[in-house]
Structure 1
Amino acid sequence: MFLQTAIFRAVEQGQVDFIYHLFKVYPGFEIQDGKGKTVLPYAVECRQAKIFNLLLRMLKESGRTLILIPDTFNNSILHSAANLSANLNHIQGAALQMQSELQWFKEVESNLPVMASELMNNTDRMTARELFTKNHKELVKEGEKSMKATATSCTVVGALIVTMMFAAAFTIPGGNIQDKGYPTFLGMLTSRYSEEDFLKSLPTKMIFGLFTLFFSIAAMMIAFSSALILMLDKQSWIVFPTILLATLPIASFVWMQFPLLRDTCISTYGPGKLGKK
């Protein structure tokens, strides 16, 4: 009992060295919790990618195949990946949390035989994919709200930039969607929000939207500063403080939104949950 608790606690905390030495000394060692769940699906449930990779590699090195032994309730390893992670607080925003969960599920699925996606558990009579949809229903809704809120706030800033740079333009280029009044150049506001869209489509639109917004802000500040310098050529004591004051709110907005752009880029085009794409 003590050994069982220690091993599962080590998996939960991501103690890779402990697990490595344990299974190096006892290659065929198997231990289960009270529900019949072994170490590998527990590592999947705890989102411990390094331990999952380690166990898969050690199985291959020993010449053994990955056997899909379900637990007492007929839950497979993929069912463990379908559970909502309890450790999502380190990821910024519900949209990126949903993307992270999707990436984890798909990468675990890619390492398992096809039959894993067809196995139904006993408690819900669901496949792993159906269980994933059930467990992440609320997160999808929160992700939709998060993305729409970000898109709306960026739309307001974009509208201000257009108004300042093109004084003659009283509407945003492209016009407005008449029934809702949303600008047409930000597709996130009118996109569908299914589970799969959080994997690539929506994050890509977010990246493109934030990047073009930052570029527009930089162009606006260059134009504003150049015009001010030309008009007040010999009054630098007015020019530079004015530019500095005008830059402060812009800089604060960029400072708040840039981490979102960085995290979205890394999450979408980075190495993936298991260290590969």
Structure 2
Amino acid sequence: MKSTAQNCMLISTVIATGVFAASITIPGGLDDKSGKPNYLKKPPFLVFAISDAVAFISSTAAILIFLSILVSRYAESDFYKSLPLKLIFGLLVALFSSITSMMVTFASAFFITYYYDSNRVPIFISAFAFLPILLFIVLQFSLWCDIMYSTFYCKNIFKPDKSILYVLLVEM
């Protein structure tokens, strides 16, 4: 769990750094006279701005969730609910939404920048940009199933039961 949290925190930090840099370097540049973005009135720019903000906020939330896993006290009771729930929310909610928003940000920026000549290429590249989202789902599905199973379905497997079952071994 600790190494998973460290690796996911590293990825969340890289995403936060990238989308922060994307928010500063606006696609299409700024108007020299007014200082406003050139494509401010176009719908793809609104998609870019919203998805960039969502990516930054969710990746920052993922960093904080994974940091809370790393600085946890690691008591035995924490492994029943607290740590698996933090890993579920960090991995599946915050990290997944930051990856999805980052890819939407990339697709909209690519669409804004290269829509001039042909509309087929930017649409194809923008659609192809959603492949990492599908890969994340496919590659992390088994981890998600294991966490869900061990957290919610096997919650009493390691807790002592009030009734004790005695098994008599019969000698042959």
- 2:111–2:122 CA contact under 8 A, matched in 1: yes
- RMSD after superposition: 3.0
Q: What's the counterpart of residue 252 of structure 1? A: 135
- 2:107–2:127 CA contact under 8 A, matched in 1: no
Distance 1:252 1:215 in 2: 14
Paired residue for 1:265, among 131, 141, 148?
Answer: 148
Paired residue for 1:166, among 17, 20, 25?
Answer: 20
Q: Which protein has greater RCO, CA pairs closer than 8 Å, 6+ apart?
A: 2
AA aligned opposite 2:106? F
Is 2:121 aligned against 1:238? yes
AA aligned opposite 1:222? V
Paired residue for 2:105, among 209, 215, 223?
Answer: 223
Distance 2:119 2:102 in 1: 20
SS in 1 for 2:137: helix
The runs of 5 or more residues in structure 2 that have no matched partner are 25-55, 58-62, 158-172
Paired residue for 2:5, among 114, 133, 151?
Answer: 151
TM-aligned CA deviation for residue 206 of structure 1? 0.5
Larger Rg: 1
Overall identity of the aligned pairs, in %: 38
Distance 1:225 1:154 in 2: 23
The runs of 5 or more residues in structure 1 that have no matched partner are 1-146, 174-182
Distance 2:84 2:78 in 1: 8
TM-aligned CA deviation for residue 148 of structure 1? 1.2
Distance 1:227 1:248 in 2: 17
TM-aligned CA deviation for residue 263 of structure 1? 3.0
Distance 2:64 2:77 in 1: 23
